[in-house]
């Protein structure tokens, strides 16, 4: 009860400090406090009042916009971790193979690498407790291996070719989290950057990629399936591509002061061909960057209409460690566009239904299926080209979604995680053989083939799991599955970048179009009626 009264008193203080409708708000808070008091003291049975408060907060936030939410104390850390720079643990990438924790890779310079743990090792005990063959889960692995920096954990490892178990004492440390999944040159001089989220370290990761690739004359920034992240990170990354005093984004709110963000002129790639790849899962910070590039006529946006999240959330702490993720402002692209898709307060289900309708109405397959009203027309700042607000970023070049390879059989394999599981299994069994045969990732990508024997192993695993083979469907999906298996093996043997290198070698319409546009840059600028500043 003390917790509840403390929350109410804090809210009353906040209401007084803002000085807006203080009396009305105080009456409502007192009313709710009285209700809880009566329940706590007079209700027939014992009740969990904190649980009731949490439920009330959740229901209250449902009456607002679709992106405001309540995060419990238990969920705060898990929610923030992907965007933070690091976590604390032993520094391994792992897979659970045959109910055994298997090291897929060690973090370079991390605690496990320092003591000699290596890819292919099977961790069978943690501090004397057996964890092999006991239905271990990913959550349990995190519980066993993560911990405060400086704490020790004793691991027993089974290593192929070694008869006895090996014991390692690992001192946990800070482990970096990376958001740049791939950085390589698909053609000489063109830097491809695959950014999975806008995290605390994203800007530094991109700058490091530029440092490692000298002589870059064009850039492809892949924001497909990037759902966003930190606003300041998006601004910092957009800044690297824009000229001094070019507007990146501006925000406005009811009580939060609006802000305008301009490029500082110190960007590393202000000139030269720039392509941004987006799709229906690109949202928030991804739309800030692509919107700024488009509105300033700096580059070409390729792909499909983005999600349409143009609201800014602020994390507000509650007294028990929980947080409110509360919408406090909306952002505008440089031309003034609001990217947020339409919504009615309190109608979250209807809001998310509209994204399903986009797919069912054919928007993913035909640009002509997308209806944008004239009331949402805006102009880019240099070329004065027409662009639209009110529901995501419309690409300059539309690429329909490729589903030609998709079959029900393919879907079942992916949804059950069988391709990943099979790739982990065969990599574990053949690691020494393959790394000995293929001297580098380049050699592997050029020469490795998923033959019938290897593929049939996947079919058999699926059959053992209750998924019967359908030959006609396998024929349709075989090439894509072969490439996916190869990509997963490449990632496990070499590097995450090699996963994307293999995937792209199997065909990627958006990337292929990006390379074509870069090769014929002036031609495409003319066709798209884009005039670059100071061109």
We report the CATH number of the domain holding residue 304 as 3.90.226.10
92, 220: one domain? no
> At residue 300, what are phi and psi to the nearest 5 degrees?
-115, 130
208, 313: one domain? yes
Terminal Cα-to-Cα distance of the chain (whole angstroms): 67
CA distances from 508 to 232, 259, 403, 420, 514 (A): 30, 38, 12, 20, 10
Residue 510 lies in a domain: no
Residue 295 parent element (H or E): helix 285-295
Q: How far apart are CA 86 and CA 292, in angstroms?
A: 29
DSSP for residue 108: T
Q: What is residue 20's predicted lDDT score, i.e. its pLDDT? A: 46
Q: How far apart are CA 238 and CA 83, in angstroms?
A: 18
378, 246: one domain? yes
Q: What is residue 453's predicted lDDT score, i.e. its pLDDT? A: 96
Which residues are marked as active site?
284, 295, 309
Contact (CB, 8 A) for 497 and 195: no
Residue 509 lies in a domain: no
Which of 401, 421, 438 represents a domain boundary (last residue)?
401
Contact (CB, 8 A) for 292 and 242: yes
Q: How far apart are CA 527 and CA 352, in angstroms?
A: 35
Q: Read off the CATH number of the domain in which 95 is found.
A: 2.30.42.10
Which of 401, 420, 449 represents a domain boundary (last residue)?
401
Q: What is residue 471's predicted lDDT score, i.e. its pLDDT? A: 96
> Three-state DSSP class for 523?
helix
User: Burial of 523 by CB count in 10 Å (0-12 exposed, 13-18 middle, 19+ buried)?
Assistant: exposed
397, 446: one domain? no
233, 185: one domain? yes
Residue 499 lies in a domain: no
Contact (CB, 8 A) for 224 and 303: yes
Q: Can you give the pTM of this predicted structure?
A: 0.84
15, 159: one domain? no
Residue 53 lies in a domain: no
Residue 56 lies in a domain: no
Which of 401, 434, 465 represents a domain boundary (last residue)?
401
Report CA Rg, the chain.
Answer: 26
CA distances from 527 to 50, 219, 260, 272, 396 (A): 61, 20, 32, 17, 10
378, 434: one domain? no
Residue 503 lies in a domain: no
328, 473: one domain? no
270, 416: one domain? no
222, 352: one domain? yes
Q: How far apart are CA 480 and CA 403, in angstroms?
A: 11
Contact (CB, 8 A) for 147 and 172: yes
Residue 424 parent element (H or E): helix 418-437
Residue 66 lies in a domain: no
Contact (CB, 8 A) for 180 and 204: no
463, 338: one domain? no
What are the residue ranges of helices labelled H in 296-383?
A: 348-360
Residue 121 lies in a domain: yes
* Domain that residue 474 falls in: 408-494
- Residue by residue, pLDDT tens for the chain (535 residues) are 444 444 444 444 444 444 446 778 888 888 888 988 888 888 888 888 888 888 888 888 889 888 888 888 777 766 665 555 567 888 888 888 778 888 877 877 788 888 888 878 889 999 888 988 888 887 888 888 888 888 988 999 888 778 888 888 888 988 777 899 999 999 999 999 999 999 889 999 999 999 999 999 999 999 999 989 889 999 999 999 999 999 999 999 888 888 999 999 999 999 999 999 999 999 999 999 999 999 999 999 999 999 999 888 888 888 888 888 898 888 999 999 998 888 888 788 877 777 777 767 777 777 766 777 767 889 999 999 999 888 889 999 999 988 899 999 999 998 888 898 899 889 988 988 999 999 999 999 999 999 999 999 999 999 999 999 999 999 999 999 999 999 999 998 998 899 999 999 988 999 999 999 999 999 999 999 888 765 5
Our count of domains for the chain comes to 4
Q: What is residue 15's predicted lDDT score, i.e. its pLDDT? A: 45
Q: What is residue 367's predicted lDDT score, i.e. its pLDDT? A: 74
236, 373: one domain? yes
């Amino acid at each position: 009860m003390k917790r509840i009264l403390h929350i109410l008193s804090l809210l009353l203080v906040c209401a007084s400090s803002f000085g807006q409708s203080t009396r009305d708000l105080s009456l409502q808070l007192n009313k709710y406090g009285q209700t809880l008091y009566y329940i706590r003291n007079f209700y027939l049975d014992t009740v969990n009042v904190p649980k009731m408060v949490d439920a009330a907060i959740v229901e209250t936030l449902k009456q607002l916009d679709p992106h405001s939410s309540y995060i419990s104390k238990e969920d705060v850390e898990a929610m923030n971790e992907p965007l933070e720079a690091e976590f604390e643990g032993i520094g391994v990438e792992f897979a659970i193979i045959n109910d055994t924790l298997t090291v897929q890779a060690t973090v370079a310079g991390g605690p496990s690498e320092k003591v000699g743990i290596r890819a292919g090792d099977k961790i069978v005990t943690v501090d004397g407790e057996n964890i092999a063959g006991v239905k271990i889960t990913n959550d349990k692995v995190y519980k066993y291996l993560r911990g405060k920096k400086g704490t020790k954990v004793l691991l027993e490892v089974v290593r192929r070719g070694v008869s006895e178990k090996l014991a390692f004492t690992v001192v946990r440390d800070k482990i970096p989290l990376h958001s740049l999944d791939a950085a390589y040159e698909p053609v000489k001089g063109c830097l491809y950057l695959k950014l999975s989220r806008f995290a605390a370290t994203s800007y530094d990761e991109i700058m490091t990629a530029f440092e490692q690739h000298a002589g870059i004359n064009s850039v492809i920034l892949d924001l497909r399936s990037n759902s966003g992240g930190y606003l300041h990170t998006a601004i910092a990354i957009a800044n690297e591509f824009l000229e001094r005093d070019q507007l990146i984004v501006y925000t406005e709110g009811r009580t939060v002061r609006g802000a305008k963000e301009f490029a500082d002129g110190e960007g590393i790639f202000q000139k030269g061909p720039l392509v941004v790849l987006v799709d229906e899962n690109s949202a928030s910070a991804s739309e800030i960057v692509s919107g700024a590039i488009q509105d300033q006529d700096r580059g070409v946006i390729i792909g499909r209409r983005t999600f349409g999240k143009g609201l800014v959330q602020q994390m507000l702490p509650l007294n028990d460690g929980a947080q409110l993720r509360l919408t406090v402002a909306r952002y505008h692209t440089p031309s003034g566009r609001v990217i947020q898709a339409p919504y009615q307060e309190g109608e979250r289900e209807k809001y998310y239904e509209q994204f399903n309708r986009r797919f069912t109405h054919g928007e993913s397959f035909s640009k002509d299926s997308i209806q944008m009203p004239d009331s949402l027309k805006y102009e880019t700042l240099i070329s004065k080209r027409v662009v639209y607000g009110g529901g995501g970023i419309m690409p300059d070049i539309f690429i329909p979604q490729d589903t030609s390879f998709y079959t029900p059989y393919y879907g079942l394999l992916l949804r059950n995680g069988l391709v990943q599981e099979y790739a982990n299994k065969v990599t574990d069994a053949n690691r020494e053989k393959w790394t000995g045969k293929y001297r580098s990732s380049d050699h592997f990508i050029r020469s490795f083939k998923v033959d019938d024997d290897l593929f049939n192993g996947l079919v058999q695993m699926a059959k053992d799991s209750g998924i019967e083979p359908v030959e006609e469907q396998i024929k349709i999906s075989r090439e894509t599955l072969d490439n996916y298996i190869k990509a997963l093996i490449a990632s496990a043997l070499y590097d995450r970048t090699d996963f994307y290198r293999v995937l792209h070698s199997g065909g990627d319409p958006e990337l292929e179009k990006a390379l074509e546009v870069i090769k014929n840059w002036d031609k495409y600028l003319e066709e798209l009626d884009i005039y670059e500043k100071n061109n």
